[in-house]
Amino acid sequence: MTVPSPAKSPRKKAGIPKTVWDLLFTLIIPIAILSPNILGSGISVAEQVFGGGVGGNVRAYLLAALIPVAYVLIDLLINRTVSGIALLGGAVALVRGALAFWYVDGGPLFAFKDSVPALLFGVLALGSLLTKTPIFRIVLDASTLTESPENRAATQKALHDGQVVRAVRAATVSYGVVELASAVVNYFVNLQLVVGKFGSDSFNAEVAQANAVMRVPGLVLSLIGVGVGIWLIQMAVKKRYGPEADIFSPDKLARLQEAEG
């Protein structure tokens, strides 16, 4: 990046951190859309934008559900991110977007519906242990798609090592268990908070409240599951190839593997 001249160019302001954008589009904006009275202003998207009533509330609910989906997918396309966390985030966003069109009233069925993403990925993760490709292995494979053939080969060689294979399986267990725990917590939070009839003002307000309570903790839980998994794999890679080894630095892995002969 070119440094601007102090004499001719104004000082460039620091950009807004990506975390702020993430929270804005996946939490704050959806909650505002669902709120029947945004920050006490008397403004309601369902009322002022969509005409109110059941139709207005349903449209506001769908808009609030689909904005995070669009944001995550656009972010993936623009940044061309193929990291494991980005891929899992995109998959969760797609599942949530599809579930938005399943209209159910508040209560046990809605609580289950809102918990489906975490439940689905937890079951898929643990179920993948019965195959030769645990879900963490699939994620790591996808993360190497943009690498050169040489670097990709180095990563694949590491992933076939016995120590690393065991770590990948342990990482998959960690992710699956945390996702199932997150699904259980999310279910009971929604069961308590969302009890209104679908399409009503109270229903949208209750969904906004449940989102405010659970979205950040749910994200934190998912990141813990992924983080523990990555840590387990990194420890195995370092034990196998040395303290400098890094599963996400295939060029370094290639050098260490070449040094081994």
Residue 12 placed within a domain: no
- 158 in a structural domain: yes
As a residue count, the chain comes to 261
Highest mean pLDDT among 6-10, 70-74, 76-80, 188-192: 188-192
The mean per-residue pLDDT over the stretch 143-167 comes to 85
Handedness of CA 74, 75, 79, 85 (dihedral sign): negative
The two structure tokens encoding residue 219: 């994200």
In a domain, 10, yes or no: no
Question: Looking at the domain assignment, is residue 64 inside a domain?
Answer: yes
Range of the domain at 40: 18-260
95-114 average pLDDT score: 87
Does pLDDT of 172 surpass 90? Answer: yes
- 229 in any annotated domain: yes
Of 216 and 81, the one with more pLDDT: 216
| Residue 206 pLDDT class (50, 70, 90 cuts) | very high
Report the candidate in 66, 72, 186 with the shortest Cα–Cα distance to residue 118. Answer: 186
1 inside domain: no
Asked if residue 112 has pLDDT above 90, the reply is yes
103 lies in some domain:
yes
Q: What is the pTM of this model?
A: 0.73
Q: Which of 74, 76, 77, 78 is nearest to 86 (CA)?
A: 76
What is the structure's pLDDT at 73?
78
Query: Residue written as tokens 């702020």?
Result: 20
- What is the band of 252 on the pLDDT scale with cuts at 50, 70, 90? confident
Task: Tell me what pLDDT residue 84 has.
Answer: 53
Whether 210 shows a pLDDT value over 50: the answer reads yes
pLDDT computed for residue 14 by the predictor: 53
Is residue 11 situated within a structural domain?
A: no
Q: Regarding predicted confidence, which is higher, 166 or 32?
A: 166
Counting the structural domains of the chain, the total is 1
- Residue 11 pLDDT > 50: no
Q: What average pLDDT does the chain have?
A: 82
